């Protein structure tokens, strides 16, 4: 049976490495991005208090985003003939008289001015938290959709982090690359990340992998700041180690990576799962069936370790990789195959402590690649 051999394929290993490389790079620049936005947030508050004669430390948490964004605003809302979907009720109308504490409208103007394209993403952010939560400010610099639920840097994907870097104009002072140029290295890294994320074949050639690693390294060695930044240099070392690894290790301690939710991907997968009820499968049932599968002991030892040929994840739909995911507590990996005319299921990975086991009628999302006995891939999702 060729099914279990497939994960050892070089190109699949390359794809896993590429995925890990993006995550490592993201962790390397995450603190840098957070710190800059935190400084911006504090500077906004200090300046607003000073310019309006307010006592130092004055904040406001009572204005929602809709209260500070005028209606209509291009690309955000347009009342048209009916009621505006953004300013949908009396509590969410624009306040022409401004924030009662003289903070939020001014804060909005500061964010607007700090955005490279004056196009802050107000749909993502919650203005009631601008004074208290740095990441709600950071989200104004992310793409306009898909980041509403990213409540921290850890929960934000690489593209979101990169967008903050490119769209918050003041980052230019800490970056050697010219961020106003279309094809700057941060832009290229975002392209790399997109290519890896949207790679249904889950295969990457050696040449592409070299290109990916080279591009990712280039931002971690940006001479203006990151080249001497501790987190970036730790990430760089891990990238070099990863690139030289024969096979991606499943030692979880090697790579203390944060779990991440790619909001766009997550929504997409959930949508796919909803529309594909026949792809749903009860995992516990699969586990029960494992007793029907018998492998020679030696083969089990050598092959189960990396058998991610088909895998199922409960809860957050995101890929399962050894050494990568802290959400593995919610994961099982199974291999389903046909033998002697019957369907067999083997659980090749299951966590010891699973707090939320799947039950009948649960909808679970799975990523899988199907191979014919001759090794031909017939499906991947």
Under the binding rule (CB under 5 A), the answer on residue 104 touching Zn ion is: yes
8 Å CB contact between 104 and 60: yes
Of the residues 4, 21, 29, 60, which one makes contact with Zn ion according to CB under 5 A: 60
Options 99-107, 162-170, 324-332, 359-367: segment touching Zn ion (CB under 5 A): 99-107
d(CA 266, CA 253): 26
Q: Is there binding between residue 84 and Zn ion (CB under 5 A)?
A: yes
48 with 102: CB under 8 angstroms?
yes
CB crowding 232-259: b at 16 or more within 10 Å, else e: beebbebbeebbeeeebeeeeeebebeb
- Of 77-85, 163-171, 312-320, 337-345: span binding Zn ion (CB under 5 A): 77-85
Cβ distance to Zn ion smaller for residue 127 or 335: 127
Provide the minimum distance between the beta carbon of 135 and Zn ion in the complex, in angstroms, as a whole number.
Answer: 19
Residue 24 or 103 having the CB closest to Zn ion:
103
CB of 76 to Zn ion, least distance (A): 7
CA 368 to chain CA centroid, Å, is 20
Q: Which stretch binds Zn ion (CB under 5 A): 62-70, 131-139, 221-229, 330-338?
A: 62-70
Q: How far apart are CA 9 and CA 248, in angstroms?
A: 12
Which residues 127-156 are close enough to bind Zn ion by CB under 5 A?
none
Q: Are 279 and 273 in contact (CB under 8 A)?
A: yes
Answer for the pair 61, 128: CB distance below 8 angstroms, yes or no: yes
Site for Zn ion contains 77 (CB under 5 A): yes
Closest CB 78 distance from Zn ion, rounded Å:
7
Q: Which residue stretch of 82-90, 219-227, 333-341, 360-368 sits at the interface with Zn ion (rule: CB under 5 A)?
A: 82-90
Nearer to Zn ion, 106 or 255 (CB): 106
Kindly tell me which residue out of 54, 71, 199, 350 binds Zn ion, with binding defined by CB under 5 A. 71
In angstroms, what is the minimal distance from the CB of 251 to Zn ion? Answer: 49
Least distance (Å) between residue 132 CB and Zn ion: 12
| Other beta carbons within 10 Å of 48 | 24
**Nearer Cβ to Zn ion, position 104 or 189?**
104
Stretch that binds Zn ion, among 94-102, 296-304, 321-329, 365-373 (CB under 5 A): 94-102
* Residue found by looking up tokens 């203006």 in the block: 224
Pick the closer one to Zn ion by CB: 41 or 193. Answer: 41
Q: Tell me 99's DSSP state.
A: -
Question: Longest Cα pair distance anywhere in the chain, in angstroms?
Answer: 81
- 48 counts as binding Zn ion under rule CB under 5 A: no
Q: From the list 12, 15, 86, 371, which residue makes contact with Zn ion (rule: CB under 5 A)?
A: 86
DSSP 142: S
* CB nearer to Zn ion: pick between 110 and 157: 110
Residue 255: asked if its preceding bond is cis (omega within 30°), the reply is: no
- For Zn ion, the binding residue among 18, 29, 63, 331 (CB under 5 A) is 63
22, 49, 99, 328: residue in contact with Zn ion (rule CB under 5 A): 99
C-alpha 158: how far from its chain's center? 6
Number of residues counted as binding Zn ion (CB under 5 A): 11
Interior/surface letters 80-104, b for 16+ CB within 10 angstroms, e for the rest: eeeebebbeeeeeebeeeebebbbb
- The tokens for 72 are 């209509």
Mention every residue, 6+ apart, whose C-beta is less than 8 A from residue 317: 265, 266, 269, 270, 273, 365, 367
Over the range 193-222, which residues count as b (16 or more CB within 10 Å of their CB) and which as e?
Answer: beebbeeeebbbeeebbebbbebbbebbeb
Return the residue of 17, 19, 87, 139 that touches Zn ion, per CB under 5 A: 87
Reduced to 3 states (helix: H, G, I; strand: E, B; else coil), residue 86 is: coil
Does 224 participate in binding Zn ion (rule CB under 5 A)? Answer: no
Q: What is the contact surface with Zn ion in residues (CB under 5 A)?
A: 60, 63, 71, 77, 84, 86-87, 99, 101, 103-104
């Amino acid at each position: 049976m060729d099914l279990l051999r497939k994960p050892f394929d070089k190109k699949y290993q390359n794809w896993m490495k590429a995925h890990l490389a993006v995550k490592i790079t993201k962790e390397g620049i995450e603190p840098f991005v957070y710190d800059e936005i935190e400084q911006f947030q504090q500077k906004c508050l200090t300046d607003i208090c000073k310019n309006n004669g307010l006592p130092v430390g004055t904040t406001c948490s009572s204005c929602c985003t809709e209260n500070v964004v005028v209606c209509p605003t291009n690309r955000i809302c347009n009342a048209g003939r009916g009621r505006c979907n953004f300013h949908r009720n009396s509590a969410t109308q624009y306040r022409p008289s401004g924030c009662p504490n003289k903070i939020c409208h001014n804060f909005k103007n500061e964010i607007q001015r700090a955005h490279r394209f004056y196009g802050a993403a107000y749909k993502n952010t919650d203005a009631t938290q601008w004074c208290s939560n740095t990441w709600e400010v950071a989200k104004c610099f992310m793409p306009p959709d898909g980041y509403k639920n990213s409540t921290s840097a850890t929960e934000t994907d690489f593209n979101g982090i990169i967008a903050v870097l490119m769209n918050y104009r003041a980052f230019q002072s800490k970056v050697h690359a010219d961020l106003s140029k279309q094809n700057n290295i941060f832009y290229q890294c975002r392209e790399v990340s997109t290519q890896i994320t949207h790679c249904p074949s889950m295969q990457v050639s050696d040449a592409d992998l070299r290109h990916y690693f080279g591009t990712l390294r280039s931002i971690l060695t940006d001479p203006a700041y990151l080249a001497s930044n501790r987190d970036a240099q730790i990430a760089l070392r891990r990238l070099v180690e990863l690139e030289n690894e024969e096979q991606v290790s499943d030692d979880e301690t090697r790579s203390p990576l944060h779990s991440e939710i790619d909001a766009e991907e997550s929504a997409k997968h959930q949508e796919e799962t909803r529309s594909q009820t026949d792809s749903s499968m009860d995992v516990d049932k699969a586990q029960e069936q494992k007793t029907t599968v018998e492998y020679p002991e030696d083969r089990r030892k050598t092959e189960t370790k990396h058998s991610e040929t088909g895998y199922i994840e409960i809860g957050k739909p995101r890929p399962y990789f050894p050494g990568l995911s802290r959400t593995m507590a919610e994961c099982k990996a199974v291999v389903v195959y046909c033998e002697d005319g019957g369907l067999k299921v083997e659980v090749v990975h299951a966590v010891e402590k699973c707090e939320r086991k799947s039950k009948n009628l649960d909808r679970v999302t799975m990523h899988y690649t199907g191979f014919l006995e001759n090794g031909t891939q017939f499906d991947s999702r």
